[in-house]
A and B are shown apart, each in its own frame.
Chain A
């Protein structure tokens, strides 16, 4: 069964600090991995998308990495801001079937 596990479940950091969120998946065959930011009560917003051949992708202060061999991805947030407080969701899609597998998300709280 395809699964996406994220850790930690929640994280509290001080404004200006960096943090790294983890995503492990068992989706096979792999097609692409996406990181989303979801503010409370809002729809997810895409941060990065990576296919099999990509191992790093940046979007401003967000940098995602992908290790397709170990089936792991991370999302690194640099110089956190209060507005980074949100849920960060890892989504993996398999080849041949669109149906994506969502992780439960990491809830990030940035304190001043």
Chain B
């Protein structure tokens, strides 16, 4: 069964450093999303992406964040200058049908 994959599974970085989180959505899906989940808290929407551009973004998704689909398979989330409060699980998801979303296993980002 096709699945969303994410790399790395765990990323440790120092405050102020740039990180790129990578996702490979399911191949025939057209809508892509990033979410984050701070430990012990609820999942929060960051951004949705369709047709090579951002379609929706939350207040969390400020100028420090960017997304890109550099080729036909990868979907990346970049954090330019990480802060301690960026430590969280980051989930990528993709959608084929109207509402069904498939989530990846997540990348745990630890900012020290």
Residues in A neighbouring B41, C-beta threshold 8 A: 104
Interface size class of B (residues with CB under 8 A): 20 to 34
Bound-state CA distance A45–B30 (Å) is 19
9-residue interface stretch from B12-20, B63-71, B101-109: B101-109
- The distance from the CB of B37 to the nearest CB of chain A, in whole angstroms, is 9
- Could you tell me how many residues of chain A have their Cβ less than 8 Å away from some Cβ of chain B? 21
Tell me the interface secondary structure of chain B in the complex.
strand
Contact B103 A45, beta carbon cutoff 8 Å = yes
* Cβ of B4 to closest chain A Cβ, rounded Å: 8
With both chains docked as a complex, state the minimum distance between the C-beta of A21 and any C-beta of chain B, in angstroms.
15
A41 CA to B6 CA, complexed, in Å: 13
Q: Are B99 and A43 in contact (CB under 8 A)?
A: no
Indicate whether A98 sits within 8 Å of B56 (C-beta atoms), given known contacts A103-B42, A104-B42: yes
Beyond A41-B108, A43-B106, A103-B42, list 17 extra A-B contacts (CB 8 Å): A41-B106, A42-B105, A43-B103, A44-B91, A44-B103, A45-B103, A46-B101, A49-B99, A49-B100, A89-B43, A91-B43, A93-B99, A98-B55, A99-B58, A102-B44, A104-B41, A104-B42
Binding site for A on B (CB under 8 A): 4, 41-45, 48, 55-56, 58, 89, 91, 93, 99-106, 108
Q: Top 9 closest A-B pairs, CB basis?
A: A43-B103, A104-B42, A102-B43, A98-B56, A49-B99, A102-B42, A43-B91, A44-B103, A32-B99
Q: List 30 A-B contacts (CB under 8 A).
A: A41-B108, A42-B106, A43-B4, A43-B103, A43-B104, A43-B105, A43-B106, A44-B43, A44-B91, A45-B103, A46-B100, A49-B100, A51-B99, A89-B43, A91-B43, A93-B99, A97-B56, A98-B48, A98-B56, A99-B45, A99-B56, A99-B58, A100-B45, A102-B42, A102-B43, A102-B44, A102-B45, A104-B41, A104-B42, A105-B42
